[in-house]
Amino acid sequence: MTAVETYSSILPFYAVAVSLVAVPLILLSARHANLREFWTIAASLVKFGVVFLLLPGVLAGRVAGFTLWEISPGIALALKADPFGVFFALIASGLWILTSVYSIGYVRGLEEHKQTRYFASFAVCLSATMGIAFAANLLTFIIFYETLTIATYPLVIHKETKGAIAAGRKYLIYTLTAGLLLIAATAWTYRITGSLDFKAGGMFGGASFSPEAVTVLFLLFLGGVGVKAAIMPLHSWLPTAMVAPTPVSALLHAVAVVKSGVFGVVRIVGFVFGPELLHRFGLNGLLAILAGATIILASLLAFRQDNLKFRLAYSTVGHLSYIVLGAALLSPASLTGSLLHIANHATMKITLFFCAGAIYVKYHKENVSELDGIGRAMPWTMGAFTLGAIGLAGVPPMNGFVSKWQLGLGSLQAGEIAPLAVLVLSGLLNIGYFAPIVYRAFLKKGAGSRGEASPAMVLPIVVTAVLSVLLGLNPDLFFHFYSMAASISGSILGGSGP
Amino acid sequence: MIINNSPALAPLLLLAAAISIPVLALLSKRLAYLTAIATSLVATAVSVLNLWRVWESGPLRYHFGGWTPPIGIEYVVDPLSAFVALVVNAVALVVLWHAMGLADEEIAGRAVPYYSLVLLLLCGANGMILTGDLFNLYVFLEIFSLACYGLIGIGEKQAAVASFRYLIMGTVGASFYLLGLGFIYIVTGSLNMADLRNILPLVYGNPAITAGLTLIVVGMGIKMAIFPLHGWLPDAYTYAPSTTSALIAPLGTKVAAYVIIRVLFYVFDAGYVSGALPMTDFIAWLAAIGIIYGSVLAIAQNEMKRMLAYSSVAQIGYIGLGIGMANPFGFIGAVLHIVNHAFMKGTLFLVAANLRKNSGHSDIARLDAAYRKKLPWSMAAFTLAALSMIGLPPTAGFFSKWYLALAAVDKGNWVFLAVILVSSLLNAVYFFRILERVYLLPPPAGEKEGEGFPLKSKTGAGLGLGEEKWGLMIPACVLSFCLLLLGIGNAGIVKGVIQRIIPIGM
C-alpha cells in the first residue's frame, strides 16, 4: 500500500446513520410486522452497501474522513474509514443482513414479545458498532462504545425473566465500569498528548513516561476495552448474557459487541500505544500472558458446559483471546492472523449460534446432552454446525485454519514458542469440546420428529457456513480481508516490527 | 431606548408582575396565571437579548439611575451572567408551564400566591446573577430566600417544618454573607465587585479579608447545600409541592453556586483563593465527600423525590468539585454542570410530579410496568434524564463528567478522578433500580390494570399519546430533549460562553 491519502466523504457518516434513521421507522410501524421487518432488512442492505463502497478507496490507499462537529473544544466528533475500520465494519454490517433474516425466523418461530423493541435496539447497536469502527479519535470511540453498551441492554434483558434482569445488571456493572476506566485513560492521554486522534504506530510520539505510569495507563485502557473483549478475569458477563435471544448472542455476543472489544484492544495496541512503546516497557508480554491464559482456561471451562450456548460462549471467550494474543505478539504475521481471526471467528461462531437457535426454535432443546440424533433431524443445520466446529478447531480447509496458521507463524516471527504451544493445545481442546456435540448429533440415535427450522433460519446458517469454507479456500475472496489485514498490520508496525 | 436598559429589565419586570398578580387575581385567576407565564416568557426573551448583546459587543455595564459606581449600583452582563440568567429563566418558564396543569390539585386555593412567589423568586435569582454590587446581591438573596421559604411551606403537612428548618439555616447563611461583606467593606470601603477586584490585592494580607471571604463562602455554601451544609435540602425538596421542588431543585442551589464562582474568581482571584488561602482545596475535598455521601444516601431512599434530593446533594458536589479544582477544565465542568444539572433535575422532578399527580405517590417500591403504560412519555423523559445523570454519551451529563475528569487529571488528583467516575456507577445503581421497575416489573397479579390509578380525566388518551395531560407531559419531554441538545452542542457553550471568561489566574 502506498502513502495514505485522506479525502472528505460523507459515506462513513451514512454508514453510521442508516440504521439510526431506521429506528423511528421501525418504531412507527410497530403494528405492521412485515413493514417493520422491511425497514430492518432495508437498513442492513443499505448499510452494507455503503460500507462496501468504501472498500475500493481503502484498497487504493485512500481513507475517507468525515468530521461532524466539535464535541469538546479541540476534539471533533470525527469519523475516518481507515482500512481497519472498513475491515470491521464490513464484517459487522454484512453479518447484520444475515442476522436480520435469521431474527425474523427466530422471533416469529418463538412468537417472542416486544419484537419492535428488539429490532429497534438491534438497529441502534449496529449504528454504534459502525461508529466504533470508524471513530477517528478516542472521544468519538468512547461515545459510540458507551452507546453500544446501553443499546445492548434491552436485548440482554429481552426475556424479562428474573434471570434475564440479573444478567442485565451484571452486564451493566461490567460494561459501565469499563466505560469509566476508558474515560479515565482517555482524559489522561489527552493531558499527555493534547490530541486524541488514532495514529497507526502510536499517538504518544516522543512523550516521556515512567514505567509505572505507562503500565497504569495501559491497564486502564485494557480494563476499558478488555471487558467487551472478555479477557479473563473480565469475561464472566459474557456467559451470563447468553440469556438473551439467540440472534443477539450470535451477532452481538459473537460479533459486534465482543469484536468491538477486541477491535478496541487492537486500536489501543496499534494506534494508541504503538509497538515501540509496548516493547520498551514489556507491556505486550503482559497482554500475551493474559490472552494465553484466557485461551486455555476458557477452552477448559467450555468442556464443563452442558448448555450449548454457554459452551459456545466460553469458546468465544477463548477465540477472542486468539485475536488479543496476535495483537500482543506484534509481529507482521501475528497481526495479520489476529485481524483475519476477527473476520473468520465471526463467520464460524455466528454459524454455530445460528444452529443453536434453530435447534431451540424447532425442538426447544438447549443442552448438549439432549442433542442425540439431532443431525439426522436437521442435516443442513448440523452439517453447517460441523463445518463451523472444525473451523474453530483450526482444521483446513476452513477459514479458521488460515488465521490460526498466520498466528502460529507470527508467534515464530516474534521468536516465541509458548504462544504456538498455546494455539496447538487450544486447537485440541476445541476438538475436545465440539466433537461430542457432532458425535451425538450424527452417530447417536434420537427419538422424535425430523425437520429443519424455517427457511429464514436455515438460509443464513448455510450462507455463513459456506462463507467460512470459501474464505478458507481463498482468504481474499469478495472482501479482500487478507490483503487488508496485511496492509493494516504493515501500517501498525511501520516497517519497524521485529 | 428600552434595549439599552435590557440588563435591568428582567428583575424589574418580574418584581412588578409578582406584585400585580394578587391584584389581577381579583379580576380573574386565569389572568393571573397567564401573566405569570407571559412575564417569565419575556424574562427569558430578555435574557436571550442580553446574551446576544454580550456576544455582539462585549460585557454590558448598566448604572442604575445614572449613578456611577462605586457609589451607585451597577449591573454587569458578561457572558457568564447572561448565560446563567438565560438558563434560570428558561428552565423556570418550562416549570411554570407544567405548573399550570398541576396548580388546581397540589396547591389548590394557593395557586395565586404560588405564582406571585415564583416570580419573586425569579426576580431574586435574576438580580443575584446580574448585579455587580455585593450588597445589592444580599438584598436579592433575601428576596430569593423569602420566596423560597414560602414556596416550600405551601406543601404537605411536614412542609411547614421543612420550610422552617430551611428558614433558620438559610437565615444563618444570609447573615454569614452579610457579616463577611461587612468585614470586607470595613477594610476596603467598597461594595462594587469591579472596584473590589482592584482594591483587594492590596489588602490580601489582612486577616479581616480572610475572615470575610470565609464567612461569605460558608454562608453561600449553606444556600448551595454543599456537604456538610446540606441538612435543610432533603426535607425541603421532599415535602415541598412537586412543582416547587421542580423549580427550586434546578435553580435554587445553582444561583448560590454561581455567586460562589463570582466571588471566588472575579471579586477575589483564582491565584489567591487557591494559593495563599487554600480555600478551593477545602471546597474540593468537601465536595468530593459530598458526591459519594449523596449518592450512597440516594441509593438508600425509597421515595423518589427524596432520592432525587440526595442525588442533588451529590450533583452539587460535582459543581463544588469543579470550582474547587480551580483550573480551566474544572471551571468549564462546574459551569456546564450548573446548566446540565438544572435541566436534568428539572426533568426528573417534573416526572416525579406527574407520577404523584397520576397515582398519588412516588414510592419506588410500588412502581411497576403499569406506571410506564400510564405515563409512557414521562417515563421516556425520565429515562433520558437518568442516562444523563449516569453520564452516558451523547447526553449532557457525559460531558460534565468528561471535563471534570480532564480537570482532575490536570490537577493530578487521582482521588477526585476516582470519585467522579465511581459516583457515576452509584448513579447507575439508583436510577436503574427505578428503570428496571417501570420497564420490566409486571404489575402484581390479581390487581387489574389501571387499579391504583384514580384517573380523573382522559384528555389526551384519545389522541394516542396515552398520558393524562399534555401540559404535564410535554414540559418534561422538552427539558429532557434539551439534554441531548446540550450534550451534542456542548462545545458551542464551552467555546462561545465559558472559555471567553475563564478567570484570570487559573
Q: Is residue B16 part of a domain?
A: yes
- Nine-digit cell at A242? 447468553
Confidence of residue B462 (pLDDT cuts 50, 70, 90): very low
Q: Is residue B98 part of a domain?
A: yes
Which helix H or strand E contains B75, and what residues bound it? strand B74-77
Contact indicator for A454, A357 with CB cutoff of 8 Å: no
Which helix H or strand E contains A160, and what residues bound it? none
Give pLDDT tens digits for B168-213.
999 999 999 999 999 999 999 889 898 898 898 888 888 899 999 9
Q: Is residue B203 part of a domain?
A: yes
B332, B395, B401, B406: best to mutate for the A interface, most A CBs within 10 A:
B406
In a shared domain, residues B313 and B362: yes
> What is the C-alpha to C-alpha distance for residues B62 and B74, in angstroms, rounded to an integer?
6
Average pLDDT over residues B427-455: 72
User: Can you say whether the dihedral through the CA atoms of A230, A234, A236, A240 is positive or negative?
Assistant: negative
Question: Cβ of B398 and A188 within 8 Å?
Answer: no
Please enumerate residues of A whose Cβ is less than 8 A from a Cβ of B: 69-73, 77, 139, 142-143, 146-147, 149-150, 157, 160, 165, 168-169, 172-173, 176-177, 179-181, 183-184, 187-188, 190-191
Number of domains in chain A: 1
A176, A193, A216: best to mutate for the B interface, most B CBs within 10 A:
A176
* pLDDT at residue B333 greater than cutoff 70: yes
> What is the C-alpha to C-alpha distance for residues B366 and B4, in angstroms, rounded to an integer?
55
Number of domains in chain B: 2
Q: Is residue A458 part of a domain?
A: yes
In a shared domain, residues B171 and B71: yes
- Nine-digit cell at A407? 498466528
Question: Looking at B268, B303, B322, which one is the last position of a domain?
Answer: B268
In this prediction, residue B460 carries a pLDDT of: 39
Q: Is residue A82 part of a domain?
A: no
Confidence of residue B459 (pLDDT cuts 50, 70, 90): very low
Determine how many CB atoms are found less than 10 A away from the CB of residue B171.
15
In a shared domain, residues B310 and B206: no
ipTM exceeding the 0.85 mark: yes
In a shared domain, residues B214 and B347: no
Q: What share of chain A in percent tops pLDDT 90?
A: 18
In this prediction, residue B257 carries a pLDDT of: 93
Helix, strand, coil fractions of chain A, as percent rounded to 5: 75, 5, 20
Q: Is residue B213 part of a domain?
A: yes
Q: Is residue B274 part of a domain?
A: no
In a shared domain, residues B38 and B99: yes
Contacts with A266 (C-beta within 8 Å, 6 or more apart), sequence order = A84, A323, A327, A338, A339
In this prediction, residue B466 carries a pLDDT of: 53
What does the angle CA A255 – CA A260 – CA A265 come to, to the nearest 5 degrees?
A: 125
Question: Looking at B235, B268, B301, which one is the last position of a domain?
Answer: B268
Q: How many CA atoms lie within 13 A of B91 on its CB side?
A: 36
Confidence of residue B1 (pLDDT cuts 50, 70, 90): low
Lowest-pLDDT choice from A110-119, B130-139, B248-257: A110-119
Q: Is residue B131 part of a domain?
A: yes
Residue A120 exposed, middle or buried by CB count within 10 Å (0-12, 13-18, 19+) = buried
Residue B302 exposed, middle or buried by CB count within 10 Å (0-12, 13-18, 19+) = exposed
Lowest-pLDDT choice from B100-104, B186-190, B198-202, B352-356: B100-104
Domain that residue B497 falls in = 279-506
Tracing cell 398578580 back to the chain, one arrives at: B21
Q: How many CA atoms lie within 13 A of A316 on its CB side?
A: 38
Give pLDDT tens digits for A401-460.
888 888 888 888 888 888 889 988 998 999 888 888 888 888 888 777 777 778 888 888
Report strand pairing: B60-63 vs A75-81. Answer: unpaired
Determine how many CB atoms are found less than 10 A away from the CB of residue A306.
11
In this prediction, residue A498 carries a pLDDT of: 32
Q: Which of B283, B253, B288 is nearest to B145 (CA)?
A: B253
Determine how many CB atoms are found less than 10 A away from the CB of residue B85.
30
* Helix/strand/coil for B62: strand
* pLDDT at residue B148 greater than cutoff 60: yes
In this prediction, residue B310 carries a pLDDT of: 93
DSSP B356: H
In a shared domain, residues B186 and B224: yes
Contact indicator for A352, A398 with CB cutoff of 8 Å: no
Residue B31 distance to chain A (closest CA, Å): 40
First-residue to last-residue Cα distance in chain A:
20
Confidence of residue B446 (pLDDT cuts 50, 70, 90): low
For residue A69, the chain B residues in CB contact (below 8 A) are 488, 491
In a shared domain, residues B76 and B45: yes
A75, A158, A183: best to mutate for the B interface, most B CBs within 10 A:
A183
Crossing angle of helices A481-493 and A83-110, in 10° steps, is: 130
Q: How are strands ordered across the β-sheet holding A5-8?
A: A5-8, A62-72, A75-81
What's chain A's average pLDDT?
A: 86
Q: Is residue A274 part of a domain?
A: no
In this prediction, residue B173 carries a pLDDT of: 93
Domain that residue A489 falls in = 304-498
What's chain B's average pLDDT?
A: 86
Q: Which residues of chain A have pLDDT under 50?
A: 1-2, 495-498
